[in-house]
Copies of this chain bind each other. A is one copy, B any other.
Amino acid sequence: MDRGSKAPIHRQIYTQIRNMILTGDLPGGTRLPSTRTLGMELGVSRITMVNAFQILTSEGFLRSRAGDGTYVGNEWLNEAVTAPEVRRPELSSRAGLSASTRGSDLQRQTSPSWNPEDPESFVASQVGIDLFPTSVWKRLIGRHSEEQSIEMLGYPEALGHRPLREAVADYLRDSRGIDAAVEQIVITSGAQQAINALMLMMTDPGDEVWMEEPGHIAASAAMLANGCRVLPVPIDECGADLAQMPNELPAGRLMFLTPSRQHPLGVQMSLARRMDWVAWANEQGSWLIEDDCDSELRYRGSRLPSLYELDRGQHVVHVGSFSKIMFPSIRVGYVVLPEDLVDSFATAISVTGRAPATLMQAATADFIREGHLNTHVRRSRKTYAQRQEALLRELRNQLGSFIRAEAVDAGMHVIGWLPSTVDDQRLAAQLADKGVYTYALGDYLLERSLPPALLIGFAATDAGHMPDAVNYMVRALRHDGYSC
């Protein structure tokens, strides 16, 4: 008996007896001592023993015969499953059981580790949480969290909460110039669920799909998990370059693009290139997935029209997310689809996990409707521009001989190019060990190679703190023997 355990004593006794039956130590037909005797032996009250016996009897492990005490049920005679020695064996030692191929692939992928309590995070996807108007948010959430309606508490609508779909349609028209009907919009649990569901809907295992190189790793992960072969398309200063793809290649089923701000390199795709891709999709009968996740965060130059608008033939699915313009834990995003694909897409969403919590959708709708989103985006854009400037200044002053970084026109990170002999993935891991979090450009490549570099995020670090933050990075680098 473990009196320190949180489990009640009768439950502990129950578990022990049950395990003795399951392992065959107490074979079927065994007569047990009375609860009084057993209680005395174990040093517990009779009522505790009676409780334990009652559960065992109700579950069929024990049988009581009137006037004749309690027996182990007969079905336990020889059927006991042999208990293995260890309680938590390694996957490999589990008898006869092997992981599936794609299961093993998943096991090899490690998610970038990140401990929120660590001091200096330059993680590229981390927003400036100090900027988010949480008191407004609390009010909007509070407004909906007490509603006792089927609409709020029942299964979320398959296409998403109608008021949010309407708010997104208006937002896209007013702030992005995208003219889409409410009926074309489906709410998702972030861009990630959208991209994965699109793969499920648009591809079959073995299909070839095209992907920016370097590109959004989480998107390639969804492609691979859905059994697709991923063909990398190189990026230059105008964006993904169709001309560099060999002619004899089979046309991909789709191409994944981040035209507003190429992830991770940061360039905006030129209009001519956009037209190339739209023409390609129309000629080949392929899809374009346009991930527009943070086009609002642009500091210089104007936003070009989206592929969705340029395409007149309906080969573009436009994907958006509130992770960067609100905050990542909100888990709300959306897609704009040709209307005839909406139902298949909604089915793909319902298979992979359904729409996000209605409460989050309802509050997001109000956040957009009441103008808070626009205010927040404007404020973030201004502050992020200052933070980027501060980062670039400190990198130049403190690390100029080691890291070369130029301003980006959009997004939340710069590319810090390293001396060509440095292994960026190893360097990022070493920094992470010291609590300095960045991503290695090498992680974003499938095949081709690029010079080593780090993605250094600026959005989450106050400009005033930037000198110290970069100094911390410098010390970490020196500690690991880098001369900088």
Interface residues of A (CB under 8 A from B): 6-7, 11, 14-15, 18, 22-23, 55, 58-61, 73, 75, 79, 81-84, 88-91, 94-104, 106-107, 109-111, 116, 121, 125-127, 129-130, 132, 134-135, 137-138, 141-142, 145-156, 158, 170, 173-174, 177, 179, 188-190, 192-193, 196, 200-205, 207, 218, 221-222, 225, 227, 253, 270-272, 275, 278-279, 282-287, 301-305, 309-315, 323, 327-332, 338-341, 343-344, 346-348, 350-360, 460
Contacts and interface: CB of A to CB of B under 8 A. Distances in A.
Contact of A84 (B6, B138, B150, B312): B312
15 contacts: A15-B177, A18-B305, A81-B282, A91-B341, A94-B313, A100-B253, A104-B344, A154-B327, A156-B329, A189-B189, A221-B350, A221-B351, A222-B351, A227-B227, A356-B357
A22 B312 CA distance: 9
Nearest to A147: B134
A329 B357 contact: yes
Given A305-B59, A346-B111, A357 B338 contact: no
A177 B11 contact: yes
Contact of A146 (B82, B134, B271, B352): B134
A82 B200 CA distance: 30
B302 A111 contact: no
Contacts of A153: 127, 129, 132, 327-329
Contacts of A202: 99-100, 103
Contacts of A83: 312-313
Contacts of A285: 94-98
Given A11-B177, A141-B142, 15 more contacts: A58-B302, A81-B311, A82-B312, A84-B312, A88-B314, A89-B314, A94-B338, A111-B350, A129-B153, A132-B148, A190-B353, A205-B205, A205-B227, A352-B353, A360-B360
Nearest to A173: B7
A189 B354 contact: yes
A393 to B, nearest CB: 25
A261 to B, nearest CB: 16
A106 B344 contact: yes
B137 A338 contact: no
A331 B352 contact: no
Contact of A148 (B79, B130, B173, B354): B130
Contacts of A355: 331
Contacts of A84: 312-314
Given A135-B146, A145-B138, A357-B360, A107 B343 contact: yes
Contacts of A338: 88-89, 91, 94
A407 to B, nearest CB: 19
A31 to B, nearest CB: 20
A276 to B, nearest CB: 9
B312 A329 contact: no
A203 B100 contact: yes
A15 to B, nearest CB: 7
A81 B279 contact: yes
Contacts of A174: 6-7
Interface centre among A61, A126, A190, A312 (most CB of B within 10 A): A312
A295 to B, nearest CB: 13
Given A96-B284, A351-B218, A126 B103 contact: no
**For the complex of A and B, 6 pairs with smallest distance between CB atoms:** A96-B285, A193-B353, A97-B285, A58-B302, A329-B358, A153-B327
Contacts of A192: 350-354
A94 B279 contact: no
Nearest to A159: B111
Contacts of A147: 134
A116 B201 contact: no
Contact of A352 (B55, B81, B196): B196
A209 B6 CA distance: 38
